[in-house]
């Protein structure tokens, strides 16, 4: 078990004073990486670093504010031959009143990569389970996430550009893109991007999409499984694109795709590195939920879940 704590400062928050969801995601990933790397280096052999491959649905249960202290706890709950599951919880404490609240919880999957050869996946030391039932439940979660990662990897799609002069409250109106050059501070000892850095960029883009659609204060409510398909190396250019895929009267679902290209090796082309769906809600000045503007149907873009999604069709029946 690993734990860490940090006081939330103004540079951790958005303009409304809520701690940025991307910062929470980054703290969660760092905690998972620490406990995973420690565990995988308890046996003889090459030293290794735990690399993030998937984050299960992440729930933002309570907002965290400037001045509160976050307590991040990570625990390994399942191991297979080449991967491990880490359960992470984030508690927020008001140090003036002593009040504590559960702010966030998530499950992350890592694989140990050799420091000598990043493409070499090391074996994971087994953990001791409290019961056979606990081990079996972990095995079922492992098999489920493995299948979902393979299915998601097999569904790459192109990011369609926004149409010129899009109508307000359409997909094209709020679609947003961030371009980031990967530097040394973004990377692990392997010179590959930290998973938490990527998730923070993704949350920022999703937040811009949500804010453009609502024109209000918005916060992350949850994140569907984040799948890391391929590594991102130092010196690459990362293009993070977010677009609305579904809107209810209370929330917005935003697909975020991370595509990568190399400046020095342009002939290799662009590839899809990460994909996820974020859910945001709109808040008033008292942090109470506001109705979300309806999504207007414009030009339907080619994607598994874009513009007029299946859920939108169901709600319109």
DSSP labels, 215-233: -SEEEEEEEPPEEE-S--B
- Using DSSP's 3-state secondary structure scheme, residue 107 falls into strand
CA atoms lying within 13 Å on the CB side of residue 143: 6
Is the sign of the CA dihedral 120, 186, 279, 168 positive or negative? negative
Radius of gyration over alpha carbons of the chain, in Å? 20
CB 293 within 8 A of CB 214: yes
Q: Which regions in the chain score pLDDT beneath 70?
A: 153-157, 266, 298-317
Q: Give me the torsion for CA of 191, 25, 9, 201, rounded to 10°.
A: 60
How confident is the model at residue 156, as a pLDDT?
59
Residues 18, 23, 104, 203: which is the catalytic one? 203
How confident is the model at residue 298, as a pLDDT?
62
List the domains of the chain with CATH numbers. 2-151 (3.10.129.10), 171-316 (3.10.129.10)
Is 12 designated active site? no
Q: What size, in residues, is the chain?
A: 317
Q: Mind spelling out the 3-state secondary structure of 142-206?
A: HHHHHHHHHHHHCCCCCCCCCCCCCCCCCHHHHCEEEEEECCHHHECCCCEECHHHHHHHHHHHH
How confident is the model at residue 228, as a pLDDT?
95
Rounded to an integer, what distance in angstroms lies between the CA atom of residue 91 and that of residue 105? 9
Residues 12, 14, 41, 259: which is the catalytic one? 14
Is 18 designated active site? no
pLDDT digits (tens, 9 = 90+) for 178-200: 999 999 999 988 899 999 999 99
* Structure token pair of residue 264: 């020095």
Q: Residue holding tokens 């209810």?
A: 248
pLDDT digits (tens, 9 = 90+) for 127-154: 999 999 999 999 999 999 988 887 776 5
* Structure token pair of residue 116: 């000598």
Q: Which are the contacts of 56, defined by CB distance < 8 A and separation ≥ 6?
A: 106, 107, 108, 109, 145, 225
How confident is the model at residue 247, as a pLDDT?
96
């Amino acid at each position: 078990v690993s734990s860490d704590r940090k006081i939330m400062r103004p540079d951790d928050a958005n303009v409304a004073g809520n701690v940025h969801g991307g910062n929470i995601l980054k703290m969660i990933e760092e905690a998972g990486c620490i406990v995973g790397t420690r565990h995988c280096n308890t046996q003889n052999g090459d030293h290794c670093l735990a690399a993030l491959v998937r984050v299960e649905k992440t729930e933002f249960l309570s907002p965290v504010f400037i001045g509160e202290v976050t307590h991040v706890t990570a625990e390994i709950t399942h191991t297979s031959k080449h991967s491990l599951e880490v359960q992470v919880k984030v508690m927020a404490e008001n140090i003036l009143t002593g009040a504590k609240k559960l702010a966030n919880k998530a499950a992350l999957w890592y694989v140990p990569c050799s420091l000598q050869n990043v493409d070499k996946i090391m074996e994971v030391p087994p953990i001791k389970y409290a019961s056979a039932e606990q081990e079996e439940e972990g095995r079922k979660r492992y098999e489920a996430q493995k299948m979902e990662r393979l299915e998601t990897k097999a569904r790459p799609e192109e990011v369609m550009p926004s149409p010129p002069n899009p109508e307000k409250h359409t997909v094209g109106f709020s679609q947003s893109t961030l371009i980031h050059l990967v530097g040394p501070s973004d990377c692990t000892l392997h010179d590959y991007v930290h998973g938490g850095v990527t998730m923070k960029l993704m949350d920022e883009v999703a937040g811009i999409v949500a804010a453009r659609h609502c024109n209000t204060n918005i916060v992350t409510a949850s994140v569907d499984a984040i799948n890391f398909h391929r590594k991102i190396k130092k010196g690459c250019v990362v293009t993070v694109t977010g677009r609305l895929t579904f809107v209810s009267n209370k929330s917005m679902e935003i697909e975020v795709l991370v595509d990568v290209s190399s400046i020095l090796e342009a002939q290799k082309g662009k590839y899809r590195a990460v994909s996820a769906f974020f859910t945001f809600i709109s808040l008033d000045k008292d942090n109470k939920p506001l109705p979300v503007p309806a999504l207007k149907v414009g030009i339907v873009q080619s994607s598994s879940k874009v513009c007029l999604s299946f859920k939108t069709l169901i709600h319109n029946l």
